[in-house]
Amino acid sequence: MNIETIQTALKDIPLGGLRYFEQVGSTNDIALQWAEEKDIRDYSLVLANEQIMGRGRNGRKWQTPPDTALALSLILLPNSNEKKKLILFTALGALALAASLKEKFNIDAQIKWPNDVLIDGEKVAGILVEANWIGDTPKAVVLGMGINIRSEAVPPTKETLFPATSLEDALGAPMARLDVLRGLLQALVNWRPRLGGDEMVTAWDEHLAYKGQQVEIRGRDGQVTQGKVLGINKDGSLRLDTVQSIHFGDVHLRPSRV
């Protein structure tokens, strides 16, 4: 990838700006700094060929080896309605990826609540959403995503907390990173007006991983909740048969061992 090929591939995407790097620590860090500028525009994109200090939820590391994956952060300027639904931007990114993989490559992907995308039970992408604030008002949302394209992007099993895979392993054929990126951004632009609406929640529910299966959810305090996944509530919380709902937070969801 280079800036020219990226611009050509994304010419039909309404980007507010593009910054490309061969190597970065974290695309989210760069995007958060960029979002502080007065002239920041909606759909400004930070993209890197290699990310060496990426992070996931709860400070977990997410590294992106060169030439093997997509490491990106998209800056979104929420309108007054979206500011009430910031928590749903994670689902927006996950749904956009799952929908685009099905449409463009006929790959069935599932969303592991709240922020991972799986293929056949293995993690292919992770999402981290952060915000830039002015006082108590969010100025910008940074939607960070790491997507394994080639098998070389998959870390060794001993370094992962959850089984991982790549898109090329799932498809069984080579994939162009910019094709994946273009499909993702197109889907995100299309789904964004429906953020938090019934259509989005229904689509999220249809892609939900472990639906009808027993899972266990461990909170930061170590407390474990078990139950069968029933679906997604309107507010984005997870509905189990044993409790009213599980809300976003520092939680780890895993299928129950049998």
Do 43 and 131 reside in the same domain of the chain?
yes
Do 161 and 236 reside in the same domain of the chain?
no
Looking up residue 85, the CATH number of its domain turns out to be 3.30.930.10
Query: What is the count of structural domains for the chain?
Result: 2
Q: What are 11-20's pLDDT values in tens digits?
A: 999 999 999 9
Do 195 and 226 reside in the same domain of the chain?
no
Give the count of alpha carbons within 13 A of 250, CB side only. Answer: 8
What's the pLDDT score for residue 258? Answer: 44
10-residue mean pLDDT profile of the chain (258 residues): values are 95 97 96 95 98 67 85 97 94 98 97 94 95 90 97 81 92 96 98 97 96 88 86 92 74 68
Query: In whole angstroms, how far apart are CA 225 and each of 68, 210, 216?
Result: 36, 15, 6
What's the pLDDT score for residue 251? Answer: 62
Do 193 and 177 reside in the same domain of the chain?
yes
Residue of 116, 77, 71, 109 whose CA lies nearest to 93: 116
Q: Torsion angle of alpha carbons 164, 166, 24, 56, nearest 10°? A: -30
Residue of 183, 129, 123, 170 whose CA lies nearest to 147: 123
What's the pLDDT score for residue 250? Answer: 54
Task: Give residue 240's Cα distance to chain centre.
Answer: 23
Do 157 and 226 reside in the same domain of the chain?
no
Answer yes or no: are the C-beta atoms of 105 and 124 closer than 8 Å. no
Answer yes or no: are the C-beta atoms of 125 and 112 closer than 8 Å. no
Do 138 and 245 reside in the same domain of the chain?
no
124 is in which domain, residue-wise?
Answer: 3-206
pTM, two decimals, is 0.92
Q: What phi and psi, each to the nearest 5 degrees, are found at residue 218?
A: -105, 125
Q: What are 165-206's pLDDT values in tens digits?
A: 999 999 999 999 999 999 999 999 999 999 999 999 999 999
What's the pLDDT score for residue 223? Answer: 81
Do 199 and 236 reside in the same domain of the chain?
no
Do 15 and 75 reside in the same domain of the chain?
yes
Do 165 and 228 reside in the same domain of the chain?
no
